Amino acid sequence: MTEPNTKNRLNPEQYARLKAEMATPYRGLRQFIYIAFGASGLLGAFIFFFRLLAGRDIDNALPNLALQVGIVALMVFLWRWEQQRQRRP
């Protein structure tokens, strides 16, 4: 006896989820990377901000703070871009 078609065994919700995953592969991994790098940049910005407030090694702390803030801004931009692409059909 033959197996019934696998398409018939999937409910519409599972089929839609699999179809969305085909359209945007590795979306979950990308979002994890955005969160991880954003959190790392935020922690670095926090540390360099307080180094500036303390007046310690200002020549190195200011460019590093700017870099960390730039990383956080980039991750926020990429996260929002990803969310907008998901909403569009």
**Closest Cα partner for 21 from 29, 32, 9, 11?**
29
Could you give the CA distance from residue 72 to residue 49 in angstroms, rounded to a whole number?
14
Each residue's pLDDT tens digit, 22-76: 877 888 899 999 999 999 999 999 999 999 999 988 999 999 999 999 999 999 9
Pick from 4-8, 10-14, 35-39 the range whose average pLDDT is largest: 35-39
Could you give the CA distance from residue 23 to residue 17 in angstroms, rounded to a whole number?
10
Q: Give yes or no for residue 2 having a pLDDT over 80.
A: no
At residue 75's C-alpha, the angle toward residues 70 and 58, to 5°, is 25
